[in-house]
């Protein structure tokens, strides 16, 4: 049965934040709110939780995982960003965007796209997420919590607990969460390609 942690949306309690970080460091799989609905999250090296994410979402190994990063500097450790993309991506973050970019050697191979050697990255505009990432000190491996057959992520902590009570280890509640997933931009080539139109404004990346 999943544990449920109710955290203040504007002033996350340090004691409760530490509980979430301790769970992640104990190789647990969490469900947590973001600026674009709920997501699943675990530490980068947690192979079991990565596989559990795929099963929960009904996805295969070709799924593009995302690294939830604290800031642009941390993002730059895990992906290559050329000059053409640098300013546009920096201007759009933090926000509800996911960018697919070529991975650096810091990304475990099993988290990259098997053929393209790319990975998704994003910087959330969300108080709890930023506090969590700051305390954790590293990116979070993450995937939008969109269940098989659905088109939008779950948005309420109690709904997540009811749906996934025996499939995740911990559920975080931290206030209202938008229902629209991120806009996904593939910038692994010479020009950006809009993969999914979501909460972020895709027009700013149209060529």
For position 58, what pLDDT does the model report? 94
Measure the CA–CA gap between 206 and 191, rounded to whole angstroms.
9
Measure the CA–CA gap between 41 and 106, rounded to whole angstroms.
18
CA angle 63, 64, 68 (to 5 degrees): 135
144: nearest Cα among 155, 136, 135: 155
For position 185, what pLDDT does the model report? 96
CA angle 24, 112, 150 (to 5 degrees): 70
Give the CATH number, domain containing residue 93. 3.90.870.10
For position 183, what pLDDT does the model report? 94
CA angle 19, 21, 22 (to 5 degrees): 65
Three-state DSSP class for residue 97: strand
Measure the CA–CA gap between 4 and 157, rounded to whole angstroms.
8
Measure the CA–CA gap between 30 and 78, rounded to whole angstroms.
22
Number of structural domains the chain divides into: 1
Q: Which domain holds residue 59?
A: 3-205
Is 160 in contact with 170 (CB distance < 8 Å)? no
Q: Which residues contact 194 (CB under 8 A, 6 or more apart)?
A: 183, 184, 185, 186, 202, 205, 206
For position 207, what pLDDT does the model report? 64
Is 68 in contact with 142 (CB distance < 8 Å)? yes
* Ranges of residues in the chain whose predicted pLDDT is under 50: none
For position 176, what pLDDT does the model report? 83
Measure the CA–CA gap between 172 and 201, rounded to whole angstroms.
27
pLDDT digits (tens, 9 = 90+) for 60-119: 877 888 999 999 999 999 999 998 899 999 999 999 999 999 999 999 988 988 888 999
Measure the CA–CA gap between 195 and 98, rounded to whole angstroms.
10
For position 179, what pLDDT does the model report? 83
Three-state DSSP class for residue 186: strand
- 79-111: buried (b, 16+ CB within 10 Å) or exposed (e) per residue? bebeeebeebbeebbbbbbbbbbbbeeebeeeb
């Amino acid at each position: 049965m999943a544990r449920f942690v109710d955290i203040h949306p504007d002033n996350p309690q340090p004691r409760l934040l530490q509980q979430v970080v301790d769970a992640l460091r104990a190789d647990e799989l969490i469900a947590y709110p973001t600026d674009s609905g709920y997501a699943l999250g675990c530490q980068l090296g947690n192979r079991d939780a990565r596989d559990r994410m795929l099963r929960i979402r009904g996805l295969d190994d070709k799924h593009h995982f995302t690294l939830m990063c604290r800031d642009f500097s941390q993002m730059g450790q895990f992906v290559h960003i050329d000059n053409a993309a640098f300013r546009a991506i920096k201007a759009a973050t933090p926000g509800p965007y996911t960018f697919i970019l070529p991975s650096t050697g810091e990304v475990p191979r099993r988290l990259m796209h098997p053929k393209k050697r790319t990975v998704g990255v994003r910087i959330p505009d969300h108080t709890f997420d930023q506090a969590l990432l700051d305390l954790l000190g590293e990116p979070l491996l993450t995937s939008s919590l969109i269940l098989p057959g659905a088109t939008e992520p779950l948005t309420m902590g109690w709904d997540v607990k009811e749906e996934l009570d025996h499939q995740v280890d911990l559920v975080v509640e931290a206030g209202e969460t938008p229902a629209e997933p991120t806009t996904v931009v593939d910038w692994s080539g010479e020009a950006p390609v809009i993969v999914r139109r979501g909460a972020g404004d895709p027009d700013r990346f149209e060529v």
